[in-house]
């Protein structure tokens, strides 16, 4: 057996023994971030080593457990009986595959598809529960002005538009000339600033 595989088996066995004790402690303190982080690191280490050593089946099982543990560690999921059962089943599967590696140097023929599917189902349930239903969320009422119209925003630009180019040329004092959308400003009113300027010039 390769030395790397032997070291992997020894380290993983020690880590899983500690993990079993942490799971027992977690029953009395299910929200402990320290315990959840330690359990997560154990599975994460096993998964990373499997990727390096080529144990693809064990890597998939560890990855499914790691994803669920990540939600627990981040506080996005609370430990319950169903999740505890799923994690214990995952640990048992990891131990069995490690025993297979010790005997045959392969992670076995069993792919634990049912276990991976169950862990993924628990994870998907978390995702759906964490997303609020936007369809049932109440919408804030739209305030109206005294005249029954929608109020302008702080800039007041959504209901305004520039006038035509010809009418812009008629005013030298103002860089822009705007009117409310849907209403036309009389052409004579747009020419008044220009006329006043001509009269002062005369």
And the tokens for 137? Answer: 């969320």
Q: Which of 24-28, 151-155, 185-189, 192-196 has the highest mean pLDDT?
A: 24-28
R_g over Cα of the chain: 35
Q: Which of 22-36, 121-135, 155-169 has the highest mean pLDDT?
A: 22-36
Residue 172 confidence (pLDDT): 45
In a domain, 195, yes or no: yes
Q: Which of 29-33, 62-66, 146-150, 182-186 has the highest mean pLDDT?
A: 62-66
CATH number reported for the structural domain that contains residue 94 in this entry: 1.20.120.160
Q: Same domain for 7 and 86?
A: yes
Q: Is pLDDT of 150 > 80?
A: no
Question: Strand pairing partners for 162?
Answer: 178
Q: Is pLDDT of 162 > 80?
A: no
Residue 169 confidence (pLDDT): 47
In a domain, 43, yes or no: yes
Give the whole-angstrom CA distance, residue 20 versus residue 134.
41
Question: Do 133 and 150 meet the contact criterion of CB atoms below 8 Å apart?
Answer: no
Question: Do 50 and 56 meet the contact criterion of CB atoms below 8 Å apart?
Answer: yes
* Distance set, CA 190 to CA 46, 91, 158, 159, 181 (Å): 78, 81, 21, 19, 16
Give the whole-angstrom CA distance, residue 57 versus residue 106.
10
CA dihedral 13, 16, 20, 26 (to 10 degrees): 160
Give the whole-angstrom CA distance, residue 167 versus residue 185.
10
Provide the whole-model pTM: 0.61
| Segment 125-140 mean pLDDT | 52
- The domain tally of the chain equals 2
Could you tell me the residue range of the domain that residue 91 belongs to? 3-130
Mean pLDDT of the chain: 75
Question: What is the percent of the chain where pLDDT is above 90?
Answer: 38
Residues 6+ apart with CB under 8 A from 197: 172, 173
Residue 62 confidence (pLDDT): 94
Residue 126 confidence (pLDDT): 53
Q: Same domain for 126 and 164?
A: no
Residues 6+ apart with CB under 8 A from 168: 162, 176, 177
| Segment 32-47 mean pLDDT | 92
Q: Same domain for 121 and 45?
A: yes
| Segment 134-157 mean pLDDT | 53
Question: Domain boundary residue among 130, 150, 173?
Answer: 130
Q: Is pLDDT of 24 > 50?
A: yes
Q: Same domain for 18 and 84?
A: yes
| Segment 176-187 mean pLDDT | 46
């Amino acid at each position: 057996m390769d030395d790397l595989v032997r070291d992997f088996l020894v380290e993983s066995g020690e880590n899983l023994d500690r993990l079993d004790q942490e799971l027992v402690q977690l029953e009395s303190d299910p929200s402990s971030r320290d315990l959840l982080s330690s359990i997560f690191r154990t599975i994460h280490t096993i998964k990373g080593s499997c990727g390096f050593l080529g144990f693809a089946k064990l890597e998939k099982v560890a990855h499914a457990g790691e994803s669920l543990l990540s939600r627990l560690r981040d506080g996005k999921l609370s430990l319950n009986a169903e999740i505890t059962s799923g994690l214990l089943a995952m640990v048992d599967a990891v131990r069995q595959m490690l025993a297979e590696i010790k005997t045959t140097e392969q992670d076995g023929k069993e792919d634990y598809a049912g276990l991976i599917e169950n862990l993924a189902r628990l994870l998907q349930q978390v995702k759906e529960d964490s997303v609020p239903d936007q369809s049932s969320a109440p919408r804030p009422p739209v305030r109206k002005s005294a005249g029954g119209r929608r109020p302008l925003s702080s800039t007041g630009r959504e209901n305004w538009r520039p006038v035509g180019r010809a009418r812009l040329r008629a005013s030298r004092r103002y860089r822009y000339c705007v009117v409310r959308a849907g209403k036309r400003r009389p052409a004579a009113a747009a020419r008044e600033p220009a006329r006043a300027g001509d009269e002062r010039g005369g």
